[in-house]
Amino acid sequence: MNDKRDVMYKDLMINILRIICIFSVVISLDSCAAVEQSEDKDSMNKVVKTDAEWQEVLTEEQFYVTRKAGTERAFSGEYWNHKEKGLYACVCCGSELFRSDAKFDSGCGWPSYFEPVAEGVITERRDFSHGMIRTEVICTRCDAHLGHVFRDGPPPTGLRYCINSASIRFCHLAENRNVE
Ligand SMILES: [Zn+2]
């Protein structure tokens, strides 16, 4: 009799554990979905302004480069030879784009990086201007023209993001609390 009770008790415990397991899986799946949703929302947080509004907050050169897909002269920008540790953010919307530890000396006269700070912060677009086929890179959040990406970069990515200094703003790591 006691044995039978024991078996029933064990069965009951196993069933309870199963239910707890199923619940915890459902809960963790739910929280993943919530995180994904909020990330989606963040990336959709587009910044849209008229030319006149951009002109109010940008210098003439920043406006020409970022909003009219211009290019600054090689070796003329603020950051081609800039070596401080920190982050480079979009000059238009402040979206973080590149880390200083992904910057390398390409010798081309524009700041060059082998990867962006995170997937999705930069959008690529085919550019057929000036009789060339290139890949333009723009800020995902505000569509600012940043420069181009080429496949002649160093390891680990083999990419060279050739970026106009006029499209970015440097900030020291200490000023940015989001960075580990
Ligand atoms: Zn931007």
| Interval 143-167: pLDDT, tens | 999 999 999 999 999 999 999 999 9
Q: Of 86, 102, 82, which is closest to residue 174 (Cα–Cα)?
A: 86
Mean pLDDT of the residues in the chain: 85
| Interval 81-94: pLDDT, tens | 999 999 999 999 99
Q: Which helix (H) or strand (E) holds 126?
A: strand 122-127
Give the start-to-end residue ranges of the domains of the chain. 1-31, 35-172
From the candidates 90, 92, 142, 162, give the one annotated as an active-site residue: 162
**pLDDT confidence bin for 40, thresholds 50/70/90:** very low
Ligand 1 center to 146 CA (angstroms): 9
Does residue 60 register a pLDDT over 90?
yes
| Interval 95-146: pLDDT, tens | 999 999 999 999 999 999 999 999 999 999 999 999 999 999 999 999 999 9
Ligand 1 center to 165 CA (angstroms): 13
Angle in degrees, CA 167, 170, 171, rounded to 5 = 140
Is 171 part of the annotated catalytic residue set?
Answer: no
CATH no., domain 35-172: 2.170.150.20
Q: Of 87, 88, 94, 96, which is closest to residue 47 (Cα–Cα)?
A: 94
